[in-house]
């Protein structure tokens, strides 16, 4: 990967999309601070100086149906780098990196992933994996329900952290079969009572597994439902 560093930028994903549109690949956009960080579902993403705000531009030879594996790979890579930094990082389906609080499924969010892509039905043209990690941030500077590497385990060397994250991401994108097994090992959602909000309506039940394409399998009162995308909440 080649790295483009910004002390301050609107959104690394926006800059990465621009580069992707110009034909770039295997470029990483990294920033100390974002002034217009974006989260999933059109939410804002607070990204002050001290975090790890990074977007990876790739041009994978896959169909859009397999793209969720890239997002899962990014969350596995992020959780792995965080674990090496001493944080008990786990993954909430599909791709939030969280730290458990107690042992009934409660958690605080450490990192989030926003994947964006362009392509046709049979092939992806480019894919941008945007990864935001609350790294060296004070607990009181974080949104509600969030935590940071600093709060959990003390400051991390951000260069080293990004290097490990990219090494792991690179490994998994070259071995997509390994992504779901690794994800399962880190999953906090499996075994939880969940509610998943999706366009086709909500699904409530026990999360029992993920499929090989990364969809969540939920055991409901009316049988098993496989959910490929949605907002997942752990219930008590
Ligand atoms: C989420 O909603 O959980 C996803 C958050 C993704 C934030 C990252 S920070 C780097 C990249 N640039 C952005 O504007 N968003 C992503």
pLDDT in tens, 55-65: 999 999 999 98
Residue 51 has pLDDT above 90, yes or no: yes
- In this prediction, residue 165 carries a pLDDT of 98
Pocket of ligand 1 contains residue 13 by CB under 6 Å: yes
- In this prediction, residue 221 carries a pLDDT of 97
Pocket of ligand 1 contains residue 11 by CB under 6 Å: yes
Residue 236 has pLDDT above 90, yes or no: no
> How far is the centre of ligand 1, averaged over its atoms, from the C-alpha of 74 (Å)?
12
- In this prediction, residue 148 carries a pLDDT of 98
Q: Whose CA is nearest to atom 8 of ligand 1?
A: 132
Pocket test for ligand 1, best of 14, 29, 36, 45 (most atoms within 8 A of CB): 45
Residue 72 has pLDDT above 90, yes or no: yes
Residue 5 has pLDDT above 90, yes or no: yes
Q: Which atom of ligand 1 is nearest the CA belonging to 34?
A: 14
- Domains plus CATH for the chain? 2-186 (3.30.930.10), 193-235 (2.30.30)
Pocket of ligand 1 contains residue 48 by CB under 6 Å: no
Mean pLDDT for the stretch of residues 147-169: 98
- In this prediction, residue 220 carries a pLDDT of 97
> How far is the centre of ligand 1, averaged over its atoms, from the C-alpha of 37 (Å)?
6
State the pLDDT confidence band at 199, using cuts at 50, 70 and 90: confident
Predicted-complex ipTM score? 0.99
Distance CA 135, CA 156 (A): 7
Mean pLDDT for the stretch of residues 66-82: 96
End-to-end CA distance of the chain: 42
Distance CA 100, CA 107 (A): 4
101-145 per-position pLDDT tens digit: 998 889 999 999 999 999 999 999 999 999 999 999 999 989 999
């Amino acid at each position: 990967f080649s790295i483009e560093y910004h002390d301050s930028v609107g959104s690394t994903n926006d800059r990465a999309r621009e580069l992707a549109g110009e034909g770039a690949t295997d470029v990483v956009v990294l920033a100390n601070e974002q002034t217009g960080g974006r989260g999933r579902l059109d939410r804002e993403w607070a990204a002050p100086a001290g975090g790890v705000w990074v977007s990876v531009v790739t041009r994978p030879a896959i169909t859009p149906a397999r793209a969720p594996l890239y997002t899962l790979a990014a969350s596995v890579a992020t959780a792995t780098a965080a674990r090496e930094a001493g944080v008990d990082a786990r993954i909430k389906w599909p791709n939030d990196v969280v730290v458990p609080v107690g042992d009934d499924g409660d958690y605080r969010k450490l990192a989030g992933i926003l994947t964006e892509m362009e392509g046709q039905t049979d092939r992806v043209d480019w894919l941008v994996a945007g990864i935001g990690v609350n790294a060296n941030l004070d607990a009181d500077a974080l949104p509600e329900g969030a935590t940071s590497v600093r709060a959990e385990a003390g400051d991390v060397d951000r260069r080293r952290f990004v290097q490990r994250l990219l090494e792991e991401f690179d490994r998994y994108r070259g071995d997509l079969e390994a992504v779901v097994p690794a994800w399962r090992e880190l999953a906090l959602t499996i075994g939880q009572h969940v509610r998943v909000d999706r366009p086709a309506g909500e699904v409530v039940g026990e999360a029992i597994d993920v499929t090989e394409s990364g969809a969540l399998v939920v055991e409901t009162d009316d049988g098993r439902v496989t959910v490929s995308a949605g907002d997942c909440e752990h219930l008590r």
